[in-house]
A and B are shown apart, each in its own frame.
Chain A
Amino acid sequence: MFGYYLDLAFRGLRRNRMLTALMVLAIALGIGASMTTLTVLHVLSGDPLPGRSASIYYPQVDPQDISKYVPGAEPPEQVAWIDGMNLLNAKRATRQALMTGGMVPLQPTQSSIDPFRAMALFTTKDFFPMFGLPFKYGNAWGDAEDAGKAHIVVISSDLNDKLFGGKNSVGGTLRLQGADFRIIGVLGDWHPNPHFYDPYMGNYASDEDIFVPLTTSRATHMGHEGSVDCWGNGNGGPEDLERSQCVWLQFWVQLDDAASVSEYQAFLVHYSEEQHALGRFTRAPNVRLRSMMQWLAFQKVVPSDARLQTWLALGFLVVCLINTVGLMLAKFMRRANELGVRRALGASRRALFAQLLIEAGTIGFAGGALGLLLSLFGLWCVRQQPAEYAPLAHMDTPMLLATFALAIGASLVAGVLPAWRACHIPPALQLKAN
């Protein structure tokens, strides 16, 4: 029966090609626009560390002075050097890492490559196991290197390809900021999006090429980049950051269960009270402990333009669907004669309804296929855009399936009213009129 209905559907569609083309085009445009923007949103609001993100937390404490105190205000979004080091050395979480980004001048030993500035992350040893970075060659550093300000570096696979042709470069030397650094590890493929751990160096598609111990970066005057927020006499000068009243570091911890989360929360309050007693903190304990996804939502990482565009596209889809409902209604009602004859010959309403819905579904499938092409084109257009997230705009399997589900679902929804109305035409009236 399905095959017969499909055949009828094709005959029906062929009967008025202009109208069919218009319906398919309307659905395709609506689907194309919606899926383009939804895919972008899907990519942008994704989980950067699937399976791991639930146990990663971002603690905040409030070391600012009392003078500009407003009760209930958010603590600073980063930590000061002293607090970062204290929290790091307290080791109250399963793992913890302190970090900031920077740009480091890199002089390749090969004369064929000009010196360039490499994006760097200055961090501590737990960064690698906590975020699950894969190593192609070598491995991460340990406590000794952090403490000893060792001249060692972990490099990305991209940089390894660029400088060493992808060969195992562990043990080799890299000249950074006029000093020699020994390569101890080469990362595998690792491109978390959003770039959650250091939003100040770009939220998307910005991966570091070199990883250097934080202590070493300070000792060798590597340029730190990112946001520096100061209070009191803090002046944000690059040389003075360890002592000054400024926040400029990101601190992440791994907490594996609910009990350790509440324990850590209590520890942060306790730490604030202790610092208050010491006279460093002047405000009442003001702490936050957000999970990674909560932190990303709080930071409003997804650009508002992308969300606005998604709403626009969905509105567009609704108009296209209403348009299709109207056209389908016209098309089905025009066939009142034929439907009347079929009813008179014994076809049940249910059978007619099913047949008309199959016809609607066929339009949806054609619209979906064309819409898919349009959204692939749309994503290509997005990739030509200058936005930092542009290179990420690719369709994945779930979004591909969602496209077809949306197209067929939408055209079935659009087909219900016209089909319902058409199969409720009294057959006698139609036959008599003729």
Chain B
Amino acid sequence: MQIKPILAAMRRHKAGTILIGFQIALTLAIVCNALFIIHERIARVSRPSGVNESNLFVITSDWADNSSNDNIDAQIKADLTALHQLGSVQDATSLNSFPLHGTGWDNFIRMTPDQIHMTTDASVFLADEHTLGTLGVKLIAGRNFTPDEVQSLTIQDMKGWPAIIVSKDLAKVLFPNGDALGKQIYASNNNTPSTIVGITDTLQSHMMDSDDNAFAYNAVLVPMREVGTGYVHYLIRARPGQLEAAMRDVPKALIAQNRMRIFDPDDGEMTFAQVRAKAYERDYGMAILMGIVSAVLLAITAAGIVGLTSFWVGQRRRQIGIRRALGATRNDILSYFMTENMLIGVAGVVVGTLLAIGINLWMVTHYDVARLSGTYLLVGAVVLLLLGQGAVLAPALRASRVPPVEATRSV
């Protein structure tokens, strides 16, 4: 295929050529970045929480009267006893917050008491001896809390946390050599050290902001029941297959314990699947939006190519007829238009790649977006070139069917 005559012909319709090329470039730039954002969001929502999420649910009890901390503490203990006695319940625990919850308590973790900048940040889960079992999180080293260790305190009464369990990822950040067990860190609000008595397998924190991505798997478990906050979360593991029954039984059992409590009608009782859906709903929304925009953008670009090429074919019927009369085969005509499109496409893709990188660099500085990987550019470029070839096929076939006799017609 001769490229020179194609280039010469392009010079006759510069505006259209530049427009298609530029449209391909912009589409590539936007689609690449959109797909990359989709990829990032999907990677985010599919990260594991470390929690065994099936058969698990959360019920939040707000106290209608929380004037007495002692009463609340006694009530939590009585509630847990009642929950453990239910036939549909396998295990239950009280917590101040839980993985994927979005709100909770995070503390700066320090290695020495007089350290100015934190070493890292971690979720503080006020847990008991049933927490790991209920969440379905295994210990990979050390021991679980004992029932006597679990204190019931308001935050201001805390005099430090002598024993804590940390998540695997936090242990690795603090002690890269893997010798975290038995070491002391400064995790509590006052300057007393805490000894790591256990290390869990992967356990996600409550923090869901993308700013907190670096701390997403940092969790500290403290043997405490917190009172004085006005509410408590119970995490409950139903016996296999009895999730629905447990979710019916638990509120009844709690009301039977004490009527002076409020379950929020919207999020008072949620399966862990609902917790997960809620935690990532914005990411799903963004990914779907980006997907729709990319699809529509590709469709519009394809339609634009079809439209403009059809116009060119119509405009050049006579020339095509002349070429056919002079001996050009149908294939020659077909490949002329295909090659023409390929040339424009390649130029567009080159400009588009630069644009895509530019847009990505701008997003990196303004939004929480990582650097675009080369794969996306490559895939995007191939997709757009194929799209162009596909779009040009119909008008090019029509052009190839122009009969040689067209050369003799004047209009």
Contacts and interface: CB of A to CB of B under 8 A. Distances in A.
Interface centre among B286, B290, B296, B315 (most CB of A within 10 A): B296
A196 B303 CA distance: 46
Interface residues of A, number: 57
A213 B372 CA distance: 52
B10 interface: no
Interface centre among B27, B158, B297 (most CB of A within 10 A): B297
A22 B30 CA distance: 21
A177 B67 CA distance: 8
Contacts of A70: 116
Interface in A112-152: 114-117
A338 interface: no
Contacts, number: 156
A323 B311 contact: no
B157 A326 contact: no
Nearest to A234: B189
Contacts of A239: 154, 156, 228
B26 interface: yes
A397 interface: no
A318 B26 CA distance: 8
Interface residues of B toward A: which range? Answer: 35 or more
Contacts of A67: 114, 116
Contact of B16 (A114, A116, A329): A329
A254 to B, nearest CB: 32
Nearest to B116: A68
Contacts of B231: 223
A316 B15 contact: no
Contact of A305 (B22, B63, B282, B310): B282
B323 interface: no
B354 interface: no
B290 A312 contact: yes
Interface string A313-344: 10110111011011101110110000000000
A304 interface: yes
A277 interface: no
A308 B367 contact: yes
Interface in B60-106: 62-67
A385 B285 contact: yes
Contacts of B368: 304
Interface in A325-375: 325-327, 329-331, 333-334
Given A221-B66, A238-B228, A316-B293, A330 B262 contact: no
B141 interface: no
A326 B230 contact: no
A198 to B, nearest CB: 15
Interface string B213-238: 00000000000000011110000000
B15 A330 contact: no
A26 interface: yes
A318 B289 CA distance: 18
Contact of A230 (B189, B290, B314): B189
A237 B229 CA distance: 9
A297 interface: no
A65 to B, nearest CB: 11
A387 to B, nearest CB: 6
A103 B103 CA distance: 15
B208 interface: no
A326 B309 CA distance: 10
B308 A326 contact: yes
Contact of A319 (B15, B23, B307): B23
B133 interface: no
A84 interface: no
Interface in B289-307: 289-290, 293, 296-297, 300-301, 303-304, 307
B209 to A, nearest CB: 11
A233 interface: yes
Interface string A102-114: 0101010000001
Nearest to B260: A115
A188 interface: no
A323 B30 CA distance: 15
A223 B229 contact: yes
Contact of A237 (B26, B66, B157): B157
Contacts of B23: 319, 322-323, 326
B127 interface: no
A27 B127 CA distance: 57
B334 interface: no
A309 interface: yes
B411 interface: yes
Interface in B150-179: 154-158
Interface string B259-282: 010101000000000000010011
A29 interface: yes
B156 A235 contact: yes
Nearest to B105: A236
A412 B93 CA distance: 65
Interface centre among A107, A323, A421 (most CB of B within 10 A): A323
A387 B286 CA distance: 11
B34 interface: yes
Contact of B30 (A114, A177, A312): A312
Contacts of B228: 237-239
Contacts of B65: 105, 177-178
A327 B304 contact: yes
A434 B410 contact: yes
A234 to B, nearest CB: 7
A239 B68 CA distance: 12
A19 interface: yes
Given A238-B155, A386-B281, 19 more contacts: A22-B304, A68-B116, A116-B262, A117-B62, A177-B65, A221-B67, A223-B66, A233-B190, A237-B154, A239-B228, A308-B363, A316-B293, A319-B23, A319-B27, A319-B300, A326-B19, A329-B15, A387-B282, A421-B15
13 contacts: A29-B300, A107-B64, A117-B62, A221-B66, A238-B156, A240-B156, A304-B367, A308-B367, A309-B289, A316-B297, A319-B26, A323-B303, A330-B310
The 4 closest A-B pairs by CB, nearest first: A237-B156, A330-B311, A223-B230, A237-B155
Interface of B: 15-16, 19-20, 22-23, 26-27, 29-30, 34, 37, 62-67, 114, 116-117, 154-158, 189-190, 228-231, 260, 262, 264, 278, 281-282, 285-286, 289-290, 293, 296-297, 300-301, 303-304, 307-308, 310-312, 314-315, 363, 366-368, 410-411
